[in-house]
Amino acid sequence: MTELEQRLLSVIQDAFPLEERPYLRLAEMLNAQGTGENAGADASGTFTEQQVFDAIENLRRSGIVRRIGGVYDSKTLGFISRLCAGKVPTIATGASDDSALDKFAAAVNAVPAITHNYVRSHEYNVWFTVIAESEEEIRRIVDGLCASTDLHDVHILSATKKFKINTVMGKGLDERRKTRDERSVFLSEVCNSGLSLRTECNEVKQSPARILSDSDRARISIACTDIPHTLTPFKDWGVSCKELRDDLAQKRMRRFGAVLRHQDAGFAYNAMVCFEVVDGRKLDVECGAVLAQKPYISHCYNRPAFEGFPYTLYAMMHAPSAAELDQYIKDAAASIGNPDYAVLNSVRELKKTSFTFFLHKKYPRVVRVGFKSIDLK
């Protein structure tokens, strides 16, 4: 990545400007922070709106940025999310081939409610996330997969306590402080100007899902997709910036920004590390709070143990190399007293998508892109 792309990536993951001309705003922010060493800037030493747009478009084309859009809180919108652990025969587990895994992957890809699906290095080798409006709906989806594929021994796991959900990543963990400082300057300007780009800027109560209007649902459904590739994406999307800022203020939306493909952004190695904390709920919570402070951990939850899997504290860890990942795991374990733990490396990514809320025919979703209208039903 170029220096400009790195600087932009440090900001747009959680603070993409919700303004009619967001790329102009980003250029203004970069120029205000410039030190006369703006590599890639024009002859005057400043970045233009078009240069910022082109840099972000390159990040999107390269695959580093999966999409730019809203990341909503499923619970606030009246949905529930569950992590499912199960088994599918593979060559690694003694099967003659991976045909059962391929069939399972194809079935999962056809289910919009399943957003993430990974093969991990454990006896429970498939782990996938389901988002739906009820426990019954999730059970129907899982039962359907078991009936149509070789998936078996499935456990549906709730998050009994959430310590951290933060997929904002720096280019390297050694650069995290610099990245965080650069974002904080911009976010300070944003909050002072009254533009609510992050929920941290506000202390507003969450709005219950029941008060959402059809217009709210239609907007949220659109905002779960990817912004148009134009200089005025919100106008061409047909979505109000003010209403998106309201979604953040009401804590319906956790952030609006770039969702990354971490492997391409410098974090090629990751693992779900599950700790067995045996001394009771209080210690479990204390350990979760400690792990949540680690910059290399993006997600941290308490989940119930199940037969054959006694672990209750889950942490998703990311690293640029296998050696660094191993060191992070040891560091995390030592910080909470070295309990027993299992390392479930990500062997294969079968699916990783963003969930589209309220994708129903009764909420028409027509997006304007330039002079065209695209029906997203």
Domain count of the fold of the chain? 1
Domain presence at residue 19 = yes
Domain presence at residue 210 = yes
Quick one: tokens of 268? 């090629």
Domain presence at residue 145 = yes
Domain presence at residue 146 = yes
Q: What is the pLDDT tens value at each position of the chain, 377 positions in all?
A: 888 998 999 899 888 999 999 999 999 999 988 654 565 666 567 899 999 999 999 999 999 999 999 999 999 999 999 999 999 999 999 999 999 999 999 999 999 999 999 999 999 999 999 999 999 999 999 999 999 999 999 999 999 999 988 655 554 433 433 434 444 444 444 433 333 344 333 333 444 555 789 999 999 999 999 999 999 999 999 999 999 999 999 999 999 999 888 655 557 889 999 999 876 556 678 999 999 999 999 999 999 999 999 999 999 999 989 999 999 999 999 999 999 999 999 999 999 998 999 875 444 444 443 334 444 44
Quick one: tokens of 308? 């054959």
Domain presence at residue 150 = yes
Output the pTM of the full model.
0.78
How far apart CA 241 and CA 254 sit, in angstroms, is 15
Domain presence at residue 51 = yes
Q: The domain that contains 138 carries what CATH number?
A: 3.30.70.920
Contact 3, 175 (CB under 8 A): no
Sheet holding 161-165, edge to edge: 152-157, 80-87, 126-132, 114-120, 341-352, 269-275, 313-319, 297-302, 161-165
* Residue 294 Cα to chain centre, angstroms: 17
Give me the domain span that covers residue 236.
1-161+195-261
Domain presence at residue 270 = no
Contact 116, 122 (CB under 8 A): no
Domain presence at residue 52 = yes
